[in-house]
Amino acid sequence: MKLKEIFQRVIQRLPIYLVQFKTLVKKEGVFFTFKRATKKIFRFLHSRGRVGDLNRILFKEWMSNVESVYLNQKSMKEDLSKLKVKPKFSIIFPVWNKSEEMLQSALDSITDQIYDNWEICISDGSSKGVKESKEFLEGFKKEYPKRVKLSFLSEELRDGINIIQNSNNAINMATGQYLVFMDCDDEISPNCLLELAKGINNNPKVDFLYSDFDKIDQRGNRFDPSFWPDWSPHTLTSQMYTTHVTCYKKRYLKS
């Protein structure tokens, strides 16, 4: 956005800014209001008014000011020690035509979990690089023999996208009380299973859990977050927001 366009946009929105300014002064005081206004001006100028750049700045601030409060070793260990019930999670991990690097990143995010009552149920239905994928996954299983269950789809099921057969094959190996579905090119945060366990402890009758998510590039930079509401049937009619990560009580999927 050019400087002229930025100036025009500010002028157009000036009445809105004035109302917000007066409201904040009454509510929070002059000092806090000027501090907040300065931050907003800095963000706007730094992003040059581009929405994508502005969102990246805001997301970084959220990670620093909000996420860091609970996503740290001390806080996670404290939460873990308070759990009265530690259910077993079976992570359903269907593999299909992904690089070893991508698979390794996804699997590392599981083994790095602070919560330790889990297993990985891997079903490989790759149609490309079949030998390499098989060798890689078998090597991973050797590293975690008590944690990993591994199976391979038959040749006739490897043509085309086979997510249903692949997932069902992984589900059949699961022994946990809850099933957590994860794509093989995803990564989960270190507190993912801990937060699911906390949700189950807070509501033992819960049958289904879902989370917010964001995206990550090849350099490990996170962006484009999706912050979802609590259970909202109205939102669900307009978009599928219960996608990553989802957790189901196993008896409902096996029935």
Q: How far apart are CA 209 and CA 245, in angstroms?
A: 8
Residues 152, 134: contact at Cβ < 8 Å? yes
Residues 187 and 219 in one domain: yes
- Are 134 and 105 in contact by the 8 Å Cβ rule? The answer is no
Residues 123 and 154 in one domain: yes
234/216 same-domain check = yes
Tell me which of 70, 86, 103 is where a domain ends: 70
Q: What is the CATH number of the domain that holds 110?
A: 3.90.550.10
Q: Give the chain's mean pLDDT.
A: 88
Q: Quick one: which of 72, 74, 43 has its CA closest to 60?
A: 43
- The number of distinct structural domains making up the chain is 2
Range name among 13-17, 74-78, 229-233, 250-254 with the lowest pLDDT average = 13-17
The upper half-sphere exposure of residue 31, i.e. CA atoms within 13 Å in the direction of its Cβ, equals: 0
27 and 146 both lie in a single domain? no
> How far is the C-alpha of 209 from the C-alpha of 248, rounded, in Å?
7
Helix pair 100-111, 130-143: axis angle to 10 deg: 20
Q: Quick: pLDDT tens for 47-92.
A: 565 655 656 778 888 999 999 999 999 999 999 999 999 999 999 9
Does residue 174 sit in the same domain as residue 116?
Answer: yes
pTM: 0.80
- Residue that is written with structure tokens 């939102």 in the block: 235
Could you tell me whether strands 118-124 and 208-210 are parallel, antiparallel, or unpaired per DSSP bridges? unpaired
Residues spanned by the domain of 179: 77-254
Report CA-CA distances (Å) from 167 to 58, 113, 152.
36, 22, 11
User: Where is the domain boundary, 43, 70, 97?
Assistant: 70
pLDDT tier, 217 (very low <50, low <70, confident <90, very high otherwise): confident
